[in-house]
Amino acid sequence: MTQRKLRLGAFIMATGHHIAAWRHPGSQIDSGVNIDHYIEVAQTAERGLFDQVFVADSPGIGFRGGEEALRRQGRVSYFEPVTLWAALSAVTKHIGFVATASTTYEDPYLLARKFASLDHISKGRAAWNVVTTSADNVHGNFGLDAHPDPALRYERAHEFVQVVKGLWDSFEDDAFVRDAASGVYFDPAKLHALNHVGKHFRVKGPLNLERPPQGYPVIVQAGSSEDGKELAAATAEAIFTAWTSPAEAQAFYGDVKGRMAKYGRRPEQLLVLPGISPVIGRTEEEAQAKWAELQALIHPAVGLAAIAPFWPGEDVSRWDLDAPPPYIPEAPKGIQSRTQVVLELARRERFTVRQLYEYLAGARGHWVVVGTPAQIADRMQEWFENGAADGFNVMPPVLPASLNEFVDLVVPELQRRGLFRTAYEGRTLRENLGLERPGNAFAQAQRAAA
């Protein structure tokens, strides 16, 4: 029996995940709009045999804190994900591309089309990270007076995904004949209009693009709220999540996989990939020194702006940095579960204000592991072999430097342990991830009726 292998995604965030990364000499300072930087990063990830690269996204600018914090934020200008990945697909051969796109603010026909196009352009390496958009600063860009509430967003998301899949099925896989001699290009009997009429959408179809090489681009989900877990159980093939202890990760892993049966799905059809932000040193001392160097680059105004959303309405800038926050609020319902995790941690650890923002500074509450390649591999192996993860979404604190270190130092360690591939197995992202290629729903319905 082949040993189960862990899956690796590289979660790419411009200059890196650490909040002060852009000030670090190991980052590319203008990377949000520097295509050569992204080419380098994607090619490095491919050299490291990563399954995929991933970018988060929101169609708007998130303003946090006052002007003093704003001018110090390095994340206000960045490429649109699908155009970015289309470009990188032309200069890579194996790695997959996970693009984030919003079911709340995009249109299903246009979205189905651009992801199908990306899947064809990349020859089967596209994935869609389905988000309902949690930022509250976006609705005004789309003529809305308010951000729709979570229940409505998730209801729309379920229908949106259904419509998009239906559009991807417009042409059956063998619809195209292309026989120059007879002059027959395709078989119209294998072209299907969706004729969707639902609560949120009416979409006639068909899509003007043949079925994606992967059938459907891989569906990814990243919310860990109740609604998010339900959407993942119903539709996702990979889920990005944020936990800092194996116990929490195990509970989540069991929870989300346990919800799949009611949608007629098997646990292995969904890969659970927690985030890990590795700070790598050849020795533990070197790793700790790197971490301290990064933390020292955080301007307090930026740190305070990072924690301010947990205390809505409060002017946190007046707080003593070296005392605990004056009070810990309850996490609002329906908000992404990371908020709950962070507030619970602050309460339990009696963090000072500075400790709290330094904790979040690493990777916004994701799991930060500071250590040697062997120590980092130990922790990944522990989670992987104990029902906490099917792999990881690696969040380099500084880009490109930290990704280079991971590929050069941690990947070989994982390979030595037999935990990670030594060559790509498949031609498509879906094949590399060990996910089945979905059948065409129209074709299946016709066969069932025959």
Q: Is 422 in the site for a second copy (CB under 8 A)?
A: no
Contact present, 199 and 159 (Cβ < 8 Å):
yes
The interface mask with a second copy, positions 117-146, x = CB under 8 A, is: xx-xx-x----------------xxxx---
Q: Is 43 in the site for a second copy (CB under 8 A)?
A: no
What tokens were used for 380? 């990944």
- Closest CB to a second copy among 169 and 210? 210
Stretches 81-89, 239-247, 411-419, 421-429: which one binds a second copy (CB under 8 A)? Answer: 81-89
Q: Is 443 in the site for a second copy (CB under 8 A)?
A: no
43, 58, 288, 339: which one contacts a second copy (CB under 8 A)? 58
The amino acid at 156: R
Q: How far is the CB of 301 from a second copy (least distance, A)?
A: 9
- Closest CB to a second copy among 140 and 258? 140
What tokens were used for 162? 């259904």
**Which residues, including other chains, have CB under 8 Å from residue 216's CB and lie 6 or more apart?**
165, 168, 438
Q: Is 110 in the site for a second copy (CB under 8 A)?
A: yes
Nearest to 63 by CA among 75, 53, 48: 75
45, 203, 233, 238: which one contacts a second copy (CB under 8 A)? 203
Stretches 185-193, 224-232, 249-257, 422-430: which one binds a second copy (CB under 8 A)? Answer: 185-193
Q: Is 312 in the site for a second copy (CB under 8 A)?
A: no
Q: How far is the CB of 110 from a second copy (least distance, A)?
A: 7
Q: How far is the CB of 235 from a second copy (least distance, A)?
A: 22
Question: What number of chain residues touch a second copy (CB under 8 A)?
Answer: 75
Q: How far is the CB of 73 from a second copy (least distance, A)?
A: 6
- Closest CB to a second copy among 141 and 245? 141
Q: Is 330 in the site for a second copy (CB under 8 A)?
A: no
Distances (CA, A) of 274 to 94, 345, 369: 22, 18, 13
Nearest to 411 by CA among 91, 111, 128, 51: 51
CA dist 117 and 125 (Å) reads: 11
Binders of a second copy among 243-302, rule CB under 8 A?
A: 297, 299, 302
Q: Is 98 in the site for a second copy (CB under 8 A)?
A: no
CA dist 429 and 394 (Å) reads: 17
CA dist 68 and 18 (Å) reads: 19
The phi and psi torsions of 131 (rounded to 5 degrees) equal: -125, 150
The enclosing H or E element of 136 equals: none
Binders of a second copy among 142-181, rule CB under 8 A?
A: 142-143, 171, 176, 178, 180
47, 148, 191, 254: which one contacts a second copy (CB under 8 A)? 191
Q: How far is the CB of 157 from a second copy (least distance, A)?
A: 17
CA dist 226 and 232 (Å) reads: 10
CA dist 385 and 391 (Å) reads: 10
Q: How far is the CB of 363 from a second copy (least distance, A)?
A: 19
- Closest CB to a second copy among 207 and 341? 207
65, 74, 303, 400: which one contacts a second copy (CB under 8 A)? 74
Q: Tell me what percent of the chain is helix, strand and coil, each rounded to the nearest 5.
A: 45, 15, 40
Distances (CA, A) of 445 to 194, 264, 441: 13, 16, 6
4, 174, 208, 245: which one contacts a second copy (CB under 8 A)? 208
Task: Return the ∠ at Cα 238 (arms to 234 and 239), rounded to 5°.
Answer: 85
Binders of a second copy among 8-27, rule CB under 8 A?
A: 20, 22-25
The amino acid at 299: H
Contact present, 347 and 328 (Cβ < 8 Å):
yes
CA dist 396 and 362 (Å) reads: 9
- Closest CB to a second copy among 81 and 223? 81
